[in-house]
Structure formats: C-alpha cells, structure tokens
Structure 1
C-alpha cells in the first residue's frame, strides 16, 4: 500500500507544481515566439529581457516592496497582539473574561465585506486613506488568530505557570519565558497565514488607496495585465514576480506551516 500512497503523492505534487513550472518557463521566453506545440513553451532560447523591461519601466518592483512592507508589519503586529490577547483570555483571571471571549468569537460571524463601509468612513475621518497606516491598522484585528492561540495556551498546564509565580515571576515573565516558546508552531502557523492573507488582500487596498505609488501587488497587477492582453510572456513575468516571495516563504517554512496547521486544525 505504501507504493500506492507514494505514487499518488507524486502525481498530486506534479499536478500542483506543473502550473508554477509552466509560468516560470514562459516568463523566460523571448517575446514573439511562435508556439505550435506544448513542448515549444519549454524549448530555448531563453531570455530575462522581459524581466528587465517590466522591472525598469513599471512600478512593479515598488509594489513588491509595498506589499512586503505591509505584509511583514501586519504579520508581526497581528501575532504580537493576538498572542497577548489569547494569553490574557486563557491564563489571566479578570471580570467578564468569558464575555470578552465570546465577543471576539462573534467577530468570526461577521463577514469582512459587511464592515467595509463603516471602516472606510472611520479611516477617512482619521485621515488614514492613501497611507501605509491605512493599509496596516485595519488589518491588525484578527479574531481567528486570537481564538487559535488561546486554544494553544489552554493546553499549557497551569501547574507549570504556578511554579513560575511561586518563584516570583509575573504574568509577563510567564508569557515571554514559558508560553511563547511552547507555542512556537502555532505562532509560526498564524504568522505565515497572516502574511499570505495580507499579501493577497485586494478589497481594502482597492478602496483606501488611489496613489499608485502606494499600490500593493493585488492592486497593481490588474492595471498592468490589461496592457498586455495580447502577450503571453509579460503577464507571466508579472505573475512570477508576484508569486516568487510566497513560494520562497513556503519552501523555507514548510515544516512550520504543516506542523502548525495540523496542530491547530485550520482548514484551507
């Protein structure tokens, strides 16, 4: 039976990898190449001229930097705030803790689209539109991250935390020295999922940003794709540039992604 699983896994891997390989191969072809058969997509000559053209004549590289900056800041701050909130809900006794938990849990029942209009009005009143702050601040509230991290914190024995308190350690020491090291897989999982969500976010940047110097990739790519509707190579170059950071992220943190998702029970 093992060989059946291996063959099935190999076939699934080829199925998912084939579009990526095809995209990368087409992106290094020369413009105007005649394509008669499928194999022509993979035959030389190869060239990086289109990459150079796209990166030097468009604002794609700037949009990549914008997306990276926003995604990294959102990821770091979201995980920090969610971890602190989850720890408080799990291990810090205070009044109305159950109410606060269900209040945050209720945030999962509200679709993001339903809050767009009031969120836009608040951002406008606070003069956050057309700014990095306007892209980052609304994305920091993540009920999913709070609930998932709280569930991990609940699994830490209270006896372990009480032993630290007996030695004179406060909640902050417990949080930084005991809780965080024990929940690194969950935090890595939430960090990666948050990064990908921010990287792919389109609706809020589309509504809050009009300055093309502040565009993120999901906003900027459609403006470029419309210019190259008759070409194959340039759209593939654009998509390759947008996809490579996420591919690299997955390759580097593959084990953390799989372990964190399997432990937290998150479904795609």
Structure 2
C-alpha cells in the first residue's frame, strides 16, 4: 500500500504545485505573447522586463513593506499577549479564572464579520483609521492562540513551578525562565500561523484604509491587477512577487506550520 499512498501524495503535490509553476512561467513571458497550445505557456522567449516595470512603476514594493511591517508587529504582540494570558489562565490562581477562560473560549464562537461594524466604530472614535495602529491593534486578540498556549502550559507539572517558587522565584521568573522555553514549539507554531493570517488579511484593511500609501498586499493587488485585465503577464508578475515572501516562509518553517495547523485544529 505504500506505493499507492506515495502515488496519491505525488498527484496531490502536482495538483497544488501546478498553478504556482504556471504562474512563474507566465510571469517571465513577454507581453503580447501569442498562445496557441498549452505548451506555449512554458516555452521561450523569457524576459524579466515586466518585473522591472512593475517594481519601478507601481507601489507594490511599498505594499509589501506595509504587509511585512503589520504582520511582524501583529505576530510579536499577539503571541506575547496570548502567552501571558495563557499562563495566567493555566498557572495563576485568581477569582473567576474559569469564567475568564470561557469568555476567551466564547470568542471562537463569534464570526469575525459580526464584529466588523462595532470594531470600525471604535477605531473611528479613537482616530485609528488610515494608520498603521489601526491595522495592528484590532488584530491582536487571538482566542485560538490563548487556548492553544494554555493547553501547553497545562501540561507542565506544577511541581516544577513550586521548586522555582521555593528558591524565591516569582511568577515573572517562572514565565520567562521555565514556561516560555518549554513551550517554544507552540510559540513558533502560533507565530507562523499568526503571520500568515495577518499577511493574507483583506477585510479589515479594506474597510479601515483609504490611503493607497498604506495599502497592504491583499488590498493593493486587486486594484493593481484591474489595470491589466487584458494581459496575462503583468497580473502574474504581481502575484509572483507577492507570493515569494510567503513561499520562502513556508519552505523554511514547513514543519512548524504543519504542527501549528494540527495543534490549532485539535485544541481550538
């Protein structure tokens, strides 16, 4: 049966990689190319002229920088806040701790679209629209990250923490010296999933940003591609450039991404 599973895996790999390969080949074709057969998509001549034109004549690099800036800040702050909240819910006894956990859990039951109108009103009242703060702050609450990290903290024996307390260590020392190092795989998984989610986020930037200098990639690409609706090459170049960072991230952190998806699917 191993050959069957390998054959199915190979078929799925080709199925998913096919559009990416096609995109890369089309992106290096010349404008106005004549396509008669499928083979013509993949045959020379090739050219990088359109890449140079897109990078120098549009705001795509600016949008990439915006997406990278927002994604990095959202990832760092979200994981830090989720780790602190998960540690408190798991290891620090306080009144109504169980109630607070169910409040966080209830956040998974509310669709994000249902909170858009009140979130927009709050952002407007706080003058956060059309700003980096308006892109970052509303994305920091992550019930999934809190629950996943709490589950990992629950698995750490309390005896280990008590030994640190006997030596005079407080909650902050326990959190920094014991909990974070032991939960490094979970932190890495949540960081990668949060980064990908922020990088692909479209709805909130679409509603909160009107200045094209602050556009992120998911918002800027449709406005750019709409200008080249009659040509294949330029839209493919735009998508290829936008895909490179996330493809590199996936290749480097493939194991952590798969582990993070499996953990969030089971625990969340």
1:84 is displaced (CA, Å) by 0.5
Instruction: Indicate the residue corresponding to 2:18 in structure 1.
Output: 18
Offset of 1:110 from its aligned partner? Answer: 1.1
Deviation at 1:171, TM superposition (A): 1.2
Q: Which runs of 5+ in 1 are unaligned?
A: none
* Aligned CA distance change for structure 1 residues 209 and 266 (closer, same or farther; 3 Å): farther
**Tell me, what secondary structure is at the counterpart of 1:30?**
coil
The answer as to whether partners of 2:67 and 2:216 remain within 8 angstroms in 1 is yes
Mapping of 1:119-158 within 5 angstroms? 119-158=119-158
Matched ranges for 1:20-169 at <5 A: 20-169=20-169
Following TM superposition, by how much is the alpha carbon of 1:251 offset from its aligned partner in structure 2, in angstroms? 0.4
TM-score normalised to structure 2 length: 0.96
Given that 2:148 and 2:263 are in contact with CA atoms closer than 8 Å, whether structure 1 keeps it comes out as no
The equivalent of 1:212 in structure 2 is 212
Secondary structure of the 2:108 match is: helix
- C-alpha distance in structure 1 between counterparts of 2:163 and 2:60, whole Å: 53
Figure out how many residues of one structure are paired with residues of the other and give that number. 268
Contact 1:29 1:45 in 2 (8 A): yes
Residue equivalent to 2:252: 252
Residue 130 of structure 1, CA deviation: 0.5
- How far did residue 263 of structure 1 move? 4.1
C-alpha deviations, 1:74-132, integer Å up to 9, x for none? 00100000001001000111111011111111111111111111111111111111000
Partner of 1:2: 2
Hey, what's the Cα distance between the residues in 1 that align with 2:25 and 2:257?
27
**How far does the alpha carbon of each residue in 1:207-240 deviate from its partner, in whole angstroms, 9 at most, with x for none?**
1111000000111111111111110000001111
TM-score when normalising by structure 1:
0.96
